[in-house]
């Protein structure tokens, strides 16, 4: 996984271990563009902080759009009723007015209160006092969004935590199907594991096709492969099929193709320096690519040397504009994809 995703994963694993052992920070600020990790930590705190029989009196869950910062501070300053601690959770906290006022409480939090501030796809201003006060006395989880090329590696890691291996092609296909939303990947994985035969430890492309509802034969993943090898007939067939899909969106297709050709360009630039690149240099040029697919890129870089790869990137910028409502005339998104595929093949 990318460094940022590795760091947040390791941080949350440590927090979850502490929470399950009954060790809590006085304040948690859970935020970031990717909601999976903040919600994971929040759910763990809700499950472990207050015993079930004490929740009625010592657990308060509210929403930022329904409370003020002053009300949250008042709740946090109460003492628990016949218990060791109380829990106050504010969900959707990005909607709360005057959130900076929480800094006054966070500077001197009560030992008997656990205050959780959960922001959904949003972050506190790191320049201001609220964020800085939580940093000093509590725990901050800042979860960045992952790029599309980072998702297959995240899937590999997540499956390993579930005691499963997933084939590189299967991970790429799943990533294409569900996008960059980690919670959706988790949900699809839960459904998949329930459908797999008991004792299964390796997930294949066939498993993804049958249980997630996407065909490898007609996918962006397969289109990039056929373009790499310049298999014109199959590439055009896939493009036409994709373009006819009700779920097809030209900007997403262009984004995936742009990532693919950018890698080819970087790899070609590396090879143009002469000599055989070191494994480290090759991994940097093909960032986010599983070594399983290196053979494909060795062929792609011959079919699209630097000049042609640059022309491909230029074409993709043009079709990104057209796919987002630019001067594409009466052409549909599907027609634009077929047209783009034909031009890439002819470079």
The domain spanning residue 153 has which CATH number? Answer: 1.10.8.60
Q: Considering the chain, what percentage of its residues have pLDDT values greater than 70?
A: 96
pLDDT at 284: 87
**Which pairing describes strands 59-63 and 86-91: parallel, antiparallel, or unpaired?**
parallel
**Do 170 and 223 fall into the same domain?**
no
183 vs 245, which has greater pLDDT?
183
Domain-embedded: residue 325: yes
Domain-embedded: residue 56: yes
Residue at which a domain ends, from 118, 142, 166: 142
- The span from the CA of 182 to the CA of 326, in Å, is 31
Report how many domains make up the chain.
3
**Is 80 exceeded by the pLDDT of residue 280?**
yes
**Do 189 and 285 fall into the same domain?**
no
Residue at which a domain ends, from 142, 170, 189: 142
Q: Three-class SS string for 3-58?
A: HHHHHHHHHHHHHHHHHHCCCCCCEEEEEECCCHHHHHHHHHHHHHCCCHHHHHHH
Going by pLDDT thresholds of 50, 70 and 90, the confidence category of residue 213 is low
**Do 208 and 243 fall into the same domain?**
no
**Is 60 exceeded by the pLDDT of residue 68?**
yes
pLDDT at 220: 85
Domain-embedded: residue 2: no
Residue 153: partners with Cβ closer than 8 Å, 6 or more residues away: 1, 2, 5, 288, 290
- The span from the CA of 113 to the CA of 311, in Å, is 60
Which pTM was predicted? 0.74
Mean pLDDT within 264-277: 89
For the segment 117-151, what is each residue's pLDDT rounded down to a tens digit?
A: 999 999 999 999 999 999 999 999 999 998 877 88
Going by pLDDT thresholds of 50, 70 and 90, the confidence category of residue 214 is low
For the chain, the straight-line distance linking the first and the last C-alpha, in angstroms and rounded, comes to: 33
- The span from the CA of 50 to the CA of 61, in Å, is 12
**Do 266 and 186 fall into the same domain?**
no
Mean pLDDT within 142-161: 89
Domain-embedded: residue 5: no
Domain-embedded: residue 4: no
Residue 146, SS3?
A: coil
pLDDT at 336: 92
The domain spanning residue 305 has which CATH number? Answer: 1.20.272.10
**Do 295 and 206 fall into the same domain?**
no
**Do 186 and 228 fall into the same domain?**
no
pLDDT at 137: 95
pLDDT at 140: 96
Domain-embedded: residue 1: no
**Do 199 and 294 fall into the same domain?**
no
- The span from the CA of 172 to the CA of 289, in Å, is 10
Residue at which a domain ends, from 124, 142, 160: 142
For the segment 319-342, what is each residue's pLDDT rounded down to a tens digit?
A: 988 888 777 567 788 899 999 999
**Is 90 exceeded by the pLDDT of residue 11?**
yes
The domain spanning residue 48 has which CATH number? Answer: 3.40.50.300
- The span from the CA of 284 to the CA of 87, in Å, is 45
**Do 324 and 222 fall into the same domain?**
yes
**Do 88 and 62 fall into the same domain?**
yes
pLDDT at 4: 57
Residue 118: partners with Cβ closer than 8 Å, 6 or more residues away: 30, 31, 38, 39, 42, 89, 90, 91, 92, 93
**Do 80 and 56 fall into the same domain?**
yes
**Do 204 and 290 fall into the same domain?**
no
Domain-embedded: residue 115: yes
pLDDT at 273: 86
Mean pLDDT within 292-302: 92
Q: CA dihedral defined by 308, 313, 319, 324, rounded to 10 degrees? A: 180
pLDDT at 243: 84
For the segment 302-320, what is each residue's pLDDT rounded down to a tens digit?
A: 999 999 999 999 999 999 8
**Is 70 exceeded by the pLDDT of residue 215?**
no
**Do 282 and 311 fall into the same domain?**
yes
The mean predicted confidence, pLDDT, of the chain is 90
109 vs 212, which has greater pLDDT?
109
- Domain range for 298 is 217-345
Q: Which residues of 164-198 are buried (b: 16+ CB within 10 A; e: fewer)?
A: bebbbbbbbbbbbbbebbbeebeebbeebbeebee
């Amino acid at each position: 996984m990318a460094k940022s995703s590795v760091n947040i994963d390791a941080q949350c694993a440590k927090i979850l271990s502490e929470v399950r052992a009954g060790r809590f920070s006085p304040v948690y600020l859970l935020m970031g563009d990717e909601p999976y990790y903040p919600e994971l930590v929040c759910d763990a705190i809700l499950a472990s902080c207050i015993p079930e029989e004490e929740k009625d009196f010592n657990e308060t869950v509210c929403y930022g759009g329904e409370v003020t910062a002053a009300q949250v501070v008042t709740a946090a300053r109460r003492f628990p009723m016949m218990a060791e601690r109380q829990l106050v959770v504010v969900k959707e906290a990005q909607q709360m007015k005057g959130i900076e006022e929480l800094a006054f409480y966070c500077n001197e939090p009560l030992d008997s209160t656990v205050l959780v501030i959960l922001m959904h796809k949003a972050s506190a201003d790191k320049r201001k006092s609220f964020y800085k006060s939580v940093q000093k006395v509590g725990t901050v989880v800042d979860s960045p969004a992952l790029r599309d090329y980072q998702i297959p590696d995240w899937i590999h890691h997540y499956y390993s935590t579930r005691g499963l291996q997933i084939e590189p092609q299967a991970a790429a296909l799943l990533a294409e199907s569900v996008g960059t939303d980690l919670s959706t990947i988790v949900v699809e994985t839960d459904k998949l594991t329930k459908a797999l035969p008991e004792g299964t430890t390796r997930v294949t492309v066939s498993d993804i096709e049958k249980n997630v509802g996407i065909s490898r034969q007609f996918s962006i993943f397969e289109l990039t492969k056929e373009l790499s090898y310049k298999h014109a007939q199959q590439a055009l067939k896939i493009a036409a099929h994709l373009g006819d899909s009700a779920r097809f969106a030209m900007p997403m297709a262009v984004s995936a193709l742009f990532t693919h050709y950018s890698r080819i360009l970087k790899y070609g630039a590396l090879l143009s320096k002469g000599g055989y690149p070191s494994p480290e240099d090759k991994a940097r040029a093909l960032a986010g690519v599983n070594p399983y697919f290196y053979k494909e890129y060795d062929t792609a870089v011959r079919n699209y040397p630097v000049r042609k790869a640059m022309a491909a990137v230029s074409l993709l910028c043009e079709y990104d504009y057209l796919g987002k409502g630019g001067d594409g005339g009466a052409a549909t998104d599907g027609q634009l994809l077929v047209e783009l595929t034909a031009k890439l093949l002819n470079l």
